[in-house]
Each structure stands twice: as structure tokens, then as C-alpha cells.
Amino acid sequence: MIEASLHFPPGFLWGTATSSHQVEGNNKGNDWWDWEQHPGHISEGDRSGLACDWWGGRWAEDLDRAAEGAQNTHRLSVEWSRIEPRPGIWDEQALAQYREIVAGMAQRSLRPMVTLHHFTNPRWLAEQGGWENEEVILRFEAFARKVAAALAGQVDLWCTLNEPNVYVFEAYLEGLFPPGKQDPGAAFRVMGNMVRAHARAYRAIHELAPGSQVGVAHHFRGIQPDSASPLDHLVARLQSRLFNEAFPRALWSGRLPLLLGEQAIPEARGTQDFFGLNYYTTDRVAFDLRRPGEFFGRRFFPPRAELSPGGFIANVPDGFSAALRWASRFGLPVLVTENGVEDGEDRLRPKYLCQHLQKLWQALNSNFPIRGYWHWTLVDNFEWERGWTQRFGLWALNPQTQQRTARPSAQLYAQICRQNCLSSSMVASFAPAALPILFPG
């Protein structure tokens, strides 16, 4: 076999991403902990419980694994309900623990990226109306100020919000996240409040941690028309406009696209220093009068696409190319803040990883301004309403014993990070079915 390698730029960021509620354990002060206690909310009645026991100290051993795997960065989130357990009351001990974790990253040569909001809210905030209440804008700014002041000098990469579009759709349209509503009016109010809160947090971080780069982790889900039919194209454009385009357009232009018209939020214009991109999969959409709640569009995975074990993700690398192309149009450096697949048996993940990194390499060689890649995720964690039924980790976790076991993909990713390239020998060893696709001939 002829050896070939796809080399990435010097200094490219390679890491994994996690979030507080999914890994820390015993986050009893937030709305998700309450949500988990109600039957029917979580698959198989699962609960987060200890999660990965990071708050109990296991963050150190997991970050050791990341460093030993040659990663040079890690993205984590801080838990608002720990830092501000009651309105205006700050827990300095919790902030000190986050400072310790971030310092531990530096000791392991892992550049930290900190996310302020990753789906969870303090219980007291939820009781006050959560993101529907305009007061959340100033409260989130105050939270951002407290965290930025505590971590200034240790952190220079910040995400204010993780996937605000997913949060709005799941919590206020699908009803799968707390508060479990199906209310389009509330959804649009929440989106507007999140745009305004981000803008205030953006300026607060720059004030308190000068030299920082601040952005949002945007979730892009590919939505392609199923046919040449104008109706298929119409519903695909509408769904993509509302799900993919609305939030980033607001931060680019200061105008939030709505179902009909736009909402002016001028203070949000230009409040991103990088474009965070989360990509997992792509759908096809066909016009369907029976689905008014989905804007008359029936979505499904592309025919013949390989599916993850639970049928949650289709392996569509070309969709990643489209996502990178779309993100680059905003004229900012692009950071791939999440990409991965649920696969407890680790059968699809090696191929998925190799194929997506090939598309990333192609985009870089087309001069797309991509600076880093964070795989989701380091170790299996609590996957929201899907509980423990999905396994995204490079390392497997037994939640009962807290035992970690390296999957083959952990070794593959370590070789990629260590050599800053994807080689034909790596593909042949870990994903041989992808070899003729990625290195033909």
C-alpha cells in the first residue's frame, strides 16, 4: 500500500468537548435535575446521578487521558446553579473549584475553552420564568461577569451559549427539555432574549478578560430538499432559515429572522470573534401537508446512509463540508466545537471520524479559516433526554462503577492528534472500509 497523509496546519487545536451537567454529577440545583425526577422525561428512566463524577475529582484522571492522547485543548462548561445557587448569592468555593480544573488543564498543556450556558438553568431562574423573562438578560450578564473575573488570565476562549437553536427547539417547541413547552410565541421570545444576553456577555468578557476570543457554539443540521420539487425546496429553506440561520444571522447583522419578518437587535451585531460550529448529521426534507408543526416538511435521513446504532445520526460527511462552507461565509475564524457519533460498540465511529476529518482537511486546503476541532466527547456521559442509552465517548464509562475503558477510537484520535495528520496507515488500521474512499488507489 502506498503511504499517504493529510497534514493539518501547525498549531491546529485538537481536543474534546464536555458539559457540566453531563459529566460533573449531582447537579441538584438546576432545572434538569428536577426534570429527571419525573417519569417519562428520560429514556429508560435514567438519571444523571454521579454522571462522570467530575465534581468529585475524576476530572483529573479524564484530563490525564486527554493529555496522554496528545490533545492540546479541552472545551468544558461551568454550571450556573453551582456558581449562583440563589439570586445574587455567589459560591466562591465553586468558582475556586473551576479555577482548579482550569489550572489543571494548563498543567496538562490543554488550552481551555469555557462555555457559560450548556442547556441547564438554576432552579431559581426557572421558577422566575427562565429565558422567557427579560430579566434573564441582566442576570446572565452578571453571571458572565462573575465567571470572567474569576477565570481571567486562565481562559482566552469563551462560548457564551451552546446551541441556542437546539435549546429553543427542544425546550419550547418539541417539549423534550425543561420547561417542556410547545409554544412558538415563547420560542421566539426566548431566542430574542438569548441574543441580547449573549451580546451583553460578549462585552462583559472583553472588559474583564481582555484579549479573549468570544463566540457561540452554533448547531448546524444539514437540511436538503429531497427532490427538485419547488415545494421541497421551499420547506427546506424555511426549516433551515429558522433552525440554522436565525441566531448566527442575528449576531452578524443585528436582525433576528422570524417566521414572518425580522426583529431588530442592533446591539448584537458583530458580537463574535470566532464562529463555533457543531455538526453531527444531515436530513432530507419533503413537502408534507400532514406536518404543519414542522412547517409542512417531513424530514428523514438520506437513503443508504450509514446510521448510528440508535438511528440517531446518519454518517453524511458531505454534510460536514456544507456546514464548514456555510460557517466560513460569516467571515470569521471557524472552530469546530463539536462533532461525533453515538456508538457504544465503536463500529461506525472510526469511519465517521476519518471521513469527517478528511472533509475538514479538504476545507482547510480550500483556504477555509478553520482553527481547531473538538470531538464529542471524551468519555461517555449523560445525554439529556436520551439518558445513558447513547455512548459518544472515546472512552467507555460504566456509570455504576465509574470504570473507564478506552475504545479503539481513542487510540485512533490520539495518533491523529500526536502526528497532526490523518494517514492511510491509520485508516487501514482503524477504519479499513474507509480506505478506498479516503485514499483511492
Lowest mean pLDDT among 27-36, 145-154, 285-294, 314-323: 285-294
Cα gap 7→105, rounded to integer Å: 26
The per-residue pLDDT for 293 is 80
Q: Is the pLDDT score of 142 beyond 80?
A: yes
Q: Is the pLDDT score of 108 beyond 70?
A: yes
Cα gap 161→422, rounded to integer Å: 31
Task: Tell me the per-residue pLDDT of 26-50, one tens digit each, with 9 for 90 and over.
Answer: 999 999 999 999 999 999 999 999 9
Whether domain 5-438 has CATH 3.20.20.80: yes
* Residue 400 CB neighbours (<10 A): 9
Task: Tell me the per-residue pLDDT of 360-403, one tens digit each, with 9 for 90 and over.
Answer: 999 999 999 999 999 999 999 999 999 999 999 999 999 999 99
Task: Tell me the per-residue pLDDT of 236-281, one tens digit each, with 9 for 90 and over.
Answer: 999 999 999 999 999 999 999 988 789 999 999 999 999 999 999 9
Task: Tell me the per-residue pLDDT of 188-215, one tens digit each, with 9 for 90 and over.
Answer: 999 999 999 999 999 999 999 999 999 9
> 263 with 247: CB under 8 angstroms?
no
The per-residue pLDDT for 1 is 65
Confidence (pTM): 0.98
Instruction: Categorize the per-residue pLDDT at 110 as very low, low, confident or very high, splitting at 50, 70 and 90.
Output: very high
- The C-alpha cell at 414 is 490520539
Cα gap 51→54, rounded to integer Å: 8
